[in-house]
């Protein structure tokens, strides 16, 4: 019978796993549409326990909804913002509705 579970490492590198007690949260850096670098974390739905407001669409991100957390690479985590995945992916083609404050 064929294997159902793929072998680890078969599909490329895994994101860096944080050891800060954040569970299944992963961190990477991405270049923004303006050329700035951003630190981005993926938050799975099981770890999303609070409400946040997405700066891309100005709608709430409800608990249990997977999303991304991003902040400028040169600043600290106090500048982080929670985005819907689609809003973060499409931020280069449309403007944000809320400015970083």
Residue 57 within any structural domain of the chain = yes
Q: How far is CA 83 from CA 1, 8, 42, 66, 89, in A?
A: 42, 29, 10, 9, 9
Residue 22, in any domain of the structure? yes
Tell me the average pLDDT across 90-99.
73
70-85 per-position pLDDT tens digit: 999 988 878 999 999 9
Domain span at residue 76 reads: 16-89
| 44-56 pLDDT tens trace | 999 999 999 999 8
Distance CA 40, CA 37 (A): 10
Q: Could you tell me if residue 5 is inside a domain?
A: no
Q: What is the average pLDDT value for the chain, to the nearest integer?
A: 80
Residue 71, beta-bridge partner list: 39
- pLDDT at residue 13, rounded to an integer: 44
Residue 100 in domain: no
Domain count within the chain: 1
Mean pLDDT of 81-101: 80
Q: Which of 53, 72, 69 is nearest to 61 (CA)?
A: 53
Place of tokens 């974390």: 41
Q: How many Cβ atoms are within 10 Å of 66's Cβ, its own excluded?
A: 14
């Amino acid at each position: 019978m064929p294997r159902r579970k793929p072998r680890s490492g078969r599909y490329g590198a895994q994101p860096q796993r944080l050891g800060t007690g954040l569970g299944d949260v992963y961190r990477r850096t991405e270049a923004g549409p303006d050329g700035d670098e951003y630190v981005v974390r993926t938050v799975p739905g099981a770890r999303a326990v609070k409400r946040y407001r997405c700066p891309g669409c100005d709608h709430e991100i409800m608990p249990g909804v997977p999303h991304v957390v991003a902040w400028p690479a040169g600043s600290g985590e106090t500048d982080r913002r929670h985005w819907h995945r689609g809003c973060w992916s499409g931020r280069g083609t449309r403007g944000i509705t809320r400015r970083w404050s």
